[in-house]
A and B are shown apart, each in its own frame.
Chain A
Amino acid sequence: MLLAQQGAATVSTGEAVSFWVLGPLALAGALGMIFARNAVHSALFLVMTMLSLGCIYMVQQAPFLGFVQIIVYTGAIMMLFLFVLMLVGRDASDSVVEVLRGQRLWAGVLGVGLAVLITGAVARSLIDVTDQGLAADTANGGRGNVANIGQLIFSDYLFPFELTSALLITAAVGAMVLGYVNREQRGRRTQKELVEARFRGEHDRPSPLPGPGVFATANSVATPALLPDGSVAPESLSRLIESTTADKLAAERESVAGTGPAAGTRALAPGKEESR
């Protein structure tokens, strides 16, 4: 604003109003970015600052710069920033422990130095700057900077501009090469493929293994499942866990069927000799 006032007396009301609306907004966004506790809010405040700056550029006769500011900074970079924040986790907070000795002191000194430099540059631009008259018809060859940039991109810089497409293709191919694993190469099959494979006989049996039996007395995985004829289904037992229940059951079945070892002649009580 000051700059504009100093440069020429041609500041229109519209420009003044837009400056006084956008300037405080940009400043508020910048302050909000620093003081917001939530990282996402911080990023959104920065977006607000960028948007306001973009609009100010457009008011200042730099439409290309304004749109680039909005498209590149606000659109691309800040959205990438938000993605990263979301990936890292919104609640992740930085450690406030100083890793480098004297970091804060030096940060403060350098920050003040930077502020002095910027103030100096801005002050100089306020004292002696001449109006280039960008709004005039003769500025930029009379065609405005957007048309001029367009002409340069399609003439002098056509080749480098097109060459960047090779860069983009390489980047895309590289992302595919380093990131994409084909499903069959990963070695995992879908449920449907597994079912078909089972019925084709690639596995021992088409159905899953039977679960353990549940008796009134136990729900351990060592409890055997019973087949319809009352015998133990061997597949329901783990090969690793010793199943007392199954052994007991088998012994009882044998004694009932009378196929077990016969009692010795000296046994005091028949059948008791084998008990454990």
Chain B
Amino acid sequence: MSVMSSVLFLAQVQPVPSPAPAKIDPPALDAVWPILIVLAAACVGVLFEAFLPRHQRWPAQVALSLLALAGAGVALATYLSDAPEAGEMAMFNTLAVDRPALFLWGTLLALSVGAVLLIADRSVEPGGAFVATAAIRPGTVQDRAQVTATGMQTEVFPLTLFALGGMMIFCAANDLLTMFIALEVLSLPLYLMCGLARRRRLLSQEAAVKYFLLGAFASAFFLYGVALLYGYAGSVRLADISAAAAGTDRSDTLLFAGMGLLVVGLLFKASVGPFHTWTPDVYQGAPTPVTAFMAACTKVAAFGGILRVLQVAFESTQWEWRGVLWGVAIASMVIGAILGLTQTDVKRMIAYSSVAHAGFLLIGAIALTDRGLSGTLFYLLTYGFTTLAAFGVISLVRDSSGEATHLSQWAGLAKRSPLVAGVFTFLLLALAGIPLTSGFVGKFVVFEAAIDDGMAPLVVIALVASAVAAFFYLRVIVLMYFSEPAADGPTVTVPGAFTTAAITLGVLVTLLLGILPSFALDWAAGGAFAIR
């Protein structure tokens, strides 16, 4: 009897007279086509890996990736022509497709074109910058045999597209759960791609492991923050958190503990301030095209997320947390500028420069005004293209063992190749923020917005930091022009069409945004975040 009743009891768990569930309408897709195209192309790319013979994969993957980026760009432009001014919610309110999100999507797509071109290049390094078979252990007989093998792991193309899809979703995520999954979708392919370098494989794999472990740690912080904020607001939606923080008598401990952990996770991805420790090692160890992709696109996506979280969810509590982020921004600028001075490796130097730039960007992000938003968006656009082209140039200076990244090897480069030295000088001046380059305009709009929002002391510190940072850019320029080239110095490879196109794209945008920034500034100032 008792066992029977127990079974019956189990059977009765769902009440019998259940009302018919509400009919779920399929979501409207017109706003999210760019994301869907990128993710679908990534899946098709995986199928290419499975079914195409080895020699056909590279052309097929390159064509597919570029087509997908072009298709997503066209979809974005079509949507943009009649997008609602205030933005709209897509996919059952999980994505907020508003003006900042659309601007970031456009930036990410354009930067990815350059990154995919760099990744696809096979002329600078014969066979491409990626290892032919990653599963062969470094240093073995088989590994030495595959050094001469042409061919690469063409899986990097779908992985790049997956990462791009994750970044686009990350910028537009309207709730923290979607944001977390997008964070993982963008990170996981990057961890993998870091470890696939053709030369100096141990360094590359070390970079991948470091990035993976620290990234997992940061994701845990993010997730814990999400859990605490859910405990506070009873919802993971940014607008609900904002509403809960605006007018309740709930305990602030959960809110600020959750926000702190969440922001640590975000700042890690953006390689800001004291959370930057992975940046130099990973930038140095990863294959240079991946470094370019990571430096440009991850920064854009991470700051897109930071901007949205700060402006949408935590604007009402800004007086409590703003001081902390002031400190973080100062730390980031000081660390980037001072440690950048001591570097002897070009890639590490650019990595520390990216930490300093992250500090400048954070200044724009904590100025919670429309001008702060548009200035930060514009800065992201300029910084992405400049960095992309800079890493493209770095990949050209080579000696017999691969890229010659040590600064002493760059001495007298202008005498060997005036063009490459000239282009690199221009890019370094843009990173330093000299007028007539996009970097100047970017810094100008961000600092202007910060002063408007009453952060003049922070701007003074930022100006000092940019002066210090300008010193180490100028040091490289002096080294290239006024030193005698070493006898056994590196040679400058004449790049093929792909790398040339990527570098040209970066340099042209840097120049164009330096001379005629107004059209891009107008785009960036198109509208604020949609809060719903």
With an 8 A cutoff between CB atoms, is B63 at the interface? no
B15 touches A170 (CB 8 A): no
- Nearest CB of B to A123, in Å: 22
- Taking a contact as CB atoms under 8 Å apart, the answer to whether A173 and B155 are in contact is yes
Tell me whether B192 and A160 are in contact (CB under 8 A).
Answer: no
Contact with B along A218-243 (1 / 0, CB 8 A): 00000000000000000000000000
Chain B residues with a Cβ closer than 8 Å to the other chain, count = 61
In this assembly, does A92 line the interface, its C-beta being within 8 Å of a C-beta of chain B?
A: no
Contacts of A274 in B (CB 8 A): none
In the assembled complex, the CB of A211 is this many whole angstroms from the nearest CB of chain B, namely 28
Closest to B192 in A: A174
| Contact across chains for A160 and B146 when beta carbons are under 8 A apart | no
Chain B residue numbers with a CB within 8 Å of A32 are none
Q: Which of B91-99, B269-277, B324-332 contacts A (4 or more CB under 8 A)?
A: B91-99
| B10 sits at the interface (CB 8 A) | yes
Given contacts A14-B9, A178-B134, contact A173 B159 (CB under 8 A): yes
- Which of the segments A36-44, A98-106, A143-151, A252-260 contacts the partner chain? A143-151
Q: CB distance A156 to B92 under 8 Å?
A: yes
Q: Which of B116-138 contact A (CB under 8 A)?
A: 132-136
**What is the total number of residues of chain A having a CB less than 8 Å from a CB of chain B?**
48
Partner of B18 from the list A15, A142, A173 (CB cut-off 8 Å) is A142
A95 at the interface (CB under 8 A from B): no
Contact A63 B13 (CB under 8 A): yes
Within the complex, the shortest CB–CB distance from A60 to chain B, in Å, comes to 10
17 pairs, A vs B, C-beta closer than 8 Å: A13-B2, A17-B6, A18-B9, A141-B19, A142-B17, A143-B15, A143-B19, A146-B14, A155-B92, A158-B91, A160-B177, A163-B169, A163-B181, A173-B49, A173-B155, A177-B155, A186-B136
Of chain A, the residue at the smallest CB distance from B136 is A181
* Residue contact A163 to B158, C-beta cutoff 8 Å: no
List, in ascending order, chain B residues with CB within 8 A of A156's CB. Answer: 92-94
Task: Report how far A166 CA is from B178 CA in the complex, Å.
Answer: 13
Question: Apart from A59-B6, A141-B19, A169-B42, what 7 extra A-B contacts exist at CB < 8 Å?
Answer: A14-B6, A17-B3, A59-B9, A144-B14, A147-B14, A169-B43, A170-B162
List of A residues within 8 angstroms of B370 by Cβ: none
- Bound complex: CA A179 to CA B177 (Å): 31
Between B7, B43, B49, B134, the greatest number of chain A beta carbons within 10 A of the residue's beta carbon is seen for B134
Within 81-120 of B, Cβ neighbours of A (below 8 Å) are at 91-95
Contact A15–B14 (Cβ < 8 Å): no
> Is the CB of A137 closer than 8 A to any CB of chain B?
yes
Residue of A nearest to B195 (CB): A178
B135 touches A179 (CB 8 A): yes
User: Which residues in window 1-27 of A have CB below 8 A to B?
Assistant: 12-18
Closest to A169 in B: B46
A164 to chain B, nearest CB (A): 6
Q: Is A61 in the interface zone, CB < 8 Å from B?
A: yes
**Interchain CA distance A144-B21 in the complex, whole Å:** 11
User: Residue B148 at the A interface, CB < 8 A?
Assistant: no
Q: Is the CB of A143 within 8 A of B184?
A: no
- Please pick, from A58, A136, A158, A163, the residue contacting B182 in the complex, using a CB distance under 8 A: A163
The listed residue with most A CB atoms (<10 A of its CB), out of B5, B8, B17, B166, is B5
User: Which residue on A lies nearest to B177, using beta carbons?
Assistant: A160
Which residue, of A13, A144, A163, has the highest number of chain B Cβ atoms within 10 A?
A163
Main secondary structure of the interface of B (DSSP, over half): helix
Pick from B15, B46, B133: contact of A173, CB under 8 Å: B46
What are the residues of chain A within 8 A of B196 when measuring CB–CB?
Answer: 177
Partner of B166, one of A166, A176, A187: A166
Q: Let me know if A269 is at the binding interface, CB within 8 A.
A: no
From the candidates A18, A147, A182, name the one contacting B133 in the complex (CB within 8 A).
Answer: A182
Would you give the shortest CB distance from B62 to chain A, in whole angstroms? 17
B364 on interface, CB distance cutoff 8 Å = no
8 A-B pairs closest in CB distance: A14-B6, A14-B5, A159-B91, A144-B14, A17-B2, A159-B94, A181-B135, A174-B192
The answer, yes or no, to whether A167 is at the interface (CB within 8 Å) is yes
Determine if A170 and B5 form an interchain contact, defined as CB atoms under 8 angstroms apart. Answer: no
Distance in angstroms between the alpha carbons of A185 and B143 in the assembled complex: 10
| B7 closest partner in A (C-beta) | A14
Does B438 belong to the interface (CB within 8 Å)?
A: no
Instruction: Give chain B residues whose Cβ lies under 8 Å from the Cβ of A181.
Output: 133, 135-136
Closest residue on chain A to residue B178 by CB atoms: A160
Whether A166 contacts B165 in the complex (CB less than 8 A), given A181-B135, A185-B133, comes out as yes
Does A81 sit at the interface, judged by CB under 8 A? no
Contacts of A167 in B (CB 8 A): 181, 184-185, 188
Q: A59-B6, A59-B9, A63-B14 are in contact. Are A159 and B178 (CB under 8 A)?
A: yes
Contact mask for chain B residues 1-43; partner A; CB cutoff 8 A; 1 contact, 0 none: 1111111111011110111011010010000000000010011
Whether B12 contacts A169 by the Cβ 8 Å rule is: no
A108 to chain B, nearest CB (A): 27
Q: Which residue of A lies closest to B2 (CB)?
A: A17
Asked whether any CB of chain A lies closer than 8 Å to the CB of B336, the reply is no
The CA of A143 and the CA of B21, in the complex, are separated in Å by 8
A171-B188 in contact (CB<8A): yes
User: How far apart are A160's CB and chain B's nearest CB, in angstroms?
Assistant: 5
- Can you name the residue of chain A whose Cβ is closest to the Cβ of B208? A178
List chain B residues, Cβ under 8 A from A83. none
Q: Is A35 part of the binding interface, using a Cβ–Cβ cutoff of 8 Å?
A: no
- What are the residues of chain A within 8 A of B185 when measuring CB–CB? 163, 166-167, 170
Q: How far is the CB of B295 from chain A (nearest CB, A)?
A: 21
Name the one of A17, A137, A158, A170 contacting B27, with C-beta atoms under 8 angstroms: A158
Task: Give Cα A63–Cα B10 distance, bound, in whole angstroms.
Answer: 9
**Are the CB atoms of B13 and A185 closer together than 8 Å?**
no
Contact check, B13 vs A61: say whether CB atoms are below 8 A apart: yes
Contact B21 A159 (CB under 8 A): no
Residues of chain A within 8 A of B182, CB atoms compared = 163
Q: Is the CB of A174 within 8 A of B188?
A: yes
- Write the nearest CB–CB distance from A67 to chain B, whole angstroms: 11
Question: Across the interface, do B17 and A59 meet the contact criterion of CB distance under 8 Å?
Answer: no
Smallest Cβ-Cβ distance to A55: which chain B residue: B10
With beta carbons under 8 angstroms apart, the residue of A12, A158, A173 that contacts B92 is: A158
Contacts of A136 in B (CB 8 A): 15
Given A13-B1, A159-B92, A167-B184, the answer on whether A178 and B42 have CB atoms closer than 8 Å is no
- Least CB distance from A133 to B in Å reads 11
Whose C-beta in chain A lies nearest to the C-beta of B161? Answer: A166
A17 cross-chain contacts in B, Cβ below 8 A: 2-3, 6
